[in-house]
Amino acid sequence: MSPSRTTVLRYREPTVWIAALIGIPAWIAHLTFVAAMVRFTDIHSQWEWTLHAATAITALVTIAGMAVCFDLWRVAGRSVADPDTPDVTPPALSRFLGFFGLLVGATNLVLILVEGSYVLLIHRGG
């Protein structure tokens, strides 16, 4: 009999998957919004704050997902894996999903912040 996953994961499975993958739609939303608004903010510079707000919001969403994944990875690391068991144990799965979510989140966070830095660094307009 295998141990219950809910005791190790600490979160429901959909929550874990959403936390692990939330950086991808956050980055896509950021990229789409900034690309759509760049011409408008060239003409109406008073709306440039929306580009900064989009960067902050999507970065915070990604960081929140990474925080859940870090907690999952940290808690799963405390449990000792049984090397004699060929099955994937809940702690091993939790540790993998936590690390996977941290890797995906960090990659997308870098993309969001680099795109957001263009708003500050590149002179727009003609």
Determine the pLDDT at residue 92.
80
Whether the per-residue pLDDT at 89 is higher than 90: the answer is no
- Helices within the chain (DSSP H only): 5-9, 13-21, 23-43, 49-78, 90-121
Alpha-carbon distance 75 to 104, whole Å? 19
Q: Is 87 helix (H, G, I), strand (E, B) or coil?
A: coil
Q: Write the single-letter amino acid at 92.
A: A
- For residue 85, what are the CA distances in angstroms to 1, 81, 89, 90? 12, 9, 8, 12
21, 104 contact by CB (below 8 A): yes
- Which pLDDT belongs to residue 10? 77
Reading the block at residue 114, the tokens are 């680099």
Q: Which one is predicted more confidently, 2 or 48? A: 48
Chain segment 34-55, per-residue pLDDT in tens = 999 988 988 888 999 999 999 9
As to burial, measured by CB atoms within 10 angstroms (0-12 exposed, 13-18 middle, 19+ buried), residue 123 is exposed
The gap between the terminal CA atoms of the chain, to the nearest Å, is 69
The residue extents of the domains of the chain are 11-121
